[in-house]
Amino acid sequence: MNYSNSHLTFDFLIIGSGAAGLLTALRLADHGQVGIVNKGDFNMSNTYQAQGGIAGVMDGEDSYDAHIQDTLKAGVGLCHEDVVREIVAQGGAFIQELKNLGTPFDTLVDTDTLHLTREGGHSARRIAHAKDATGRAIGETLLNHVLAHPNIHCLNKHMAIDVITSRRLGRHGGSNQCLGVYLLTPDNHIITVAATHTILATGGAGKVYHYTSNPHAATGDGIAMAWRAGCPVMNLEFIQFHPTCLFHPGGSTMLLSEALRGEGAILVDAQQRRFAFDYHESGELAPRDIVARAIDHEMKKQGKDCMFLDARPIGKATIQAHFPNIMQRLLDVGIDMINEPVPIVPASHYLCGGVKTDVAGRTTIDALYVIGESAATGLHGANRLASNSLLECLVMADYCAKAILASSHDCTRMALPEWDDSGLSPETERIQIKQNWDEIRLTMSNYVGIVRSDEWLRRARRRLRVIHDEIASYYWHYPISRDLIELRNLSIVADLIVRSAQQRQESRGLHYSKDHPKTLKHAGDTVLWPEQL
């Protein structure tokens, strides 16, 4: 790492320290200086929140073909089968590697054999887990190795603002190359970071919606950055709403893992009527889109704010053994899941679309890679199968590092300009940022939620355009701040989601339109291209 005059230089610059970013850092660390940037603390990622586990074929009764078929079925005809085969084939090996690195996966009593759980859409038990906090266990394991490596430099509380490309610097001959990133430091200075290879591993965009299982960091920054730099995005209309997030007026919408339903929890209304089998023969273990729509439908039909997850059929001993964190977090807000049903609502959970990439995260810009939840490889199609995303993060990290090490990319060494913040007015008030933020999330929840219509999408688009113009004038006239960067990114991603939804004239997987309820016989990916710089 070189540091001079607010300029840093790395061989490999990774934005994001979730599963995708951490494993990429480990894979590259013996080959050069790695910078890994994180806008919060290490635990501020979707990875750290993951509960259920990571999918992989580990049991003799199971088969790769079954996992492939389950993934394809959940994706409703839009999965890229070659990608599914490639990623699913590696599940067992990556789970084993994580175990070897020290991840404390649950095992069967007195054996080294993994305890595998089951989730919706899976035809077999194939989810390796560490109680009900698998993401934290994986994240902490990878982080321990990252912190121990002398070539990896962690920049916590540094926020990436935009990538620097050769086109943006006015070089129009040859291919467009990524040269680095502008970062906002914790004390609000903007520094220039040059890198031979830049990897965006910034996670999803759950914060686009009012109710979400995602932590605050999930504002779609990497997708917005890549889009502004000229990368196409794919399938952004497919937002996965997790069926069971806590409904609690005073609390956050914490997730109640699908593994609870895998172990026997059922969905009921306020009168304790079980309703999931009215919608699908697999009941509570139908694919997520179906279960989320069933809950949404019952809430609307009955005029209720929530439905309930009744975990009592699981039994006290199993709840205490497998779900201690969920149980405790519920007790903290006064709910005893061993003895009473838990109020739940569906909440935005996972972004199936993202920046269009291959499995190695390659984009249309040289030396810029996008991996993990920010990317769309074609694995998930129109709906993600539970616990396939941590697996995708790890496979992408591995492939990305291999692609970088095999590439002949020779970074054009050119002086990178400093961020120009001359001529800005001092900021007077911040209330507009909060108002715009709330307005985007309500607009998306009201008009671009589990059920959509042409008119609602048009309304959303109109409102987002007004907000977008307000943000643009604010962005270029006042000093940049973390909130403002996130708001700008959120508004771009929200608009891309709506535009993608408008392009899909059918209902498929996670995209359900009242005006186009049928699933077309033939359909492809929705790809949006930015105006070329």
Site residues, ligand SIN (CB under 6 A): 51-52, 257-259, 350, 386-387, 389
Indicate the residue among 51 and 500 with the shorter CB distance to ligand SIN: 51
Q: Is 34 in the site for ligand FAD (CB under 6 A)?
A: no
Q: Is 117 in the site for ligand FAD (CB under 6 A)?
A: no
Indicate the residue among 347 and 460 with the shorter CB distance to ligand FAD: 347
Q: 3-state SS of 477-507?
A: HCCCCHHHHHHHHHHHHHHHHHHHHHHCCCC
Residue 211 · residue 348 · CB < 8 Å: yes
Q: Smallest distance from the beta carbon of 288 to ligand SIN, in angstroms?
A: 8
Torsional sign, CA 495, 241, 382, 87: positive
Q: Smallest distance from the beta carbon of 17 to ligand SIN, in angstroms?
A: 19
Residue 363 · residue 229 · CB < 8 Å: no
User: Is position 126 annotated as part of the catalytic site?
Assistant: no
Contact map string, positions 44 to 83, toward ligand FAD, x by CB under 6 A: xxxx-xxxxxx-----------------------------
Residue 451's CB is within 10 A of a number of other CB atoms, namely 15
Near ligand FAD in 242-261, by CB under 6 A:
255
Report residue 97 as tokens.
């590697």
Indicate the residue among 161 and 285 with the shorter CB distance to ligand SIN: 285
Q: Binding partner of residue 159 among ligand SIN, ligand FAD, none, CB under 5 to 8 Å per kind?
A: ligand FAD
CA distance 210 to 190: 30
Q: Smallest distance from the beta carbon of 430 to ligand FAD, in angstroms?
A: 19
Q: Smallest distance from the beta carbon of 139 to ligand SIN, in angstroms?
A: 15
Which window, 39-47, 73-81, 97-105, 503-511, contacts ligand FAD (CB under 6 A)?
Answer: 39-47
Where b means 16+ CB within 10 Å and e means fewer, 229-243 reads bbbbbbbbbbbbbbb
Backbone phi and psi for residue 118, each to the nearest 5 degrees, phi listed first: -125, 150
- Tell me 229's DSSP state: H
Residue 232 · residue 521 · CB < 8 Å: no
User: Strand 116-117 and strand 127-128: pairing?
Assistant: antiparallel
CA distance 299 to 308: 10
Q: Smallest distance from the beta carbon of 159 to ligand FAD, in angstroms?
A: 4
Q: Smallest distance from the beta carbon of 199 to ligand SIN, in angstroms?
A: 23
Q: Is 395 in the site for ligand FAD (CB under 6 A)?
A: no
Pick the catalytic residue from 118, 167, 261, 288.
288
CA distance 12 to 1: 10
Contact map string, positions 399 to 438, toward ligand FAD, x by CB under 6 A: ----------------------------------------
- Tell me 201's DSSP state: -
Angle between helices 482-503 and 431-447 (to 10 degrees): 20
Q: Smallest distance from the beta carbon of 22 to ligand FAD, in angstroms?
A: 8
Residue nearest to ligand FAD (CB): 18
Indicate the residue among 366 and 392 with the shorter CB distance to ligand SIN: 392
Indicate the residue among 226 and 260 with the shorter CB distance to ligand SIN: 260
Residue 335 · residue 323 · CB < 8 Å: no
Backbone phi and psi for residue 531, each to the nearest 5 degrees, phi listed first: -65, 135
Indicate the residue among 258 and 296 with the shorter CB distance to ligand SIN: 258
Catalytic (active-site) positions? 288
Contacting residues toward ligand FAD, per CB under 6 A? 15-21, 37-40, 44-47, 49-54, 134-135, 159-160, 201-203, 213-214, 217, 221, 255, 349-350, 372-373, 387-390, 393
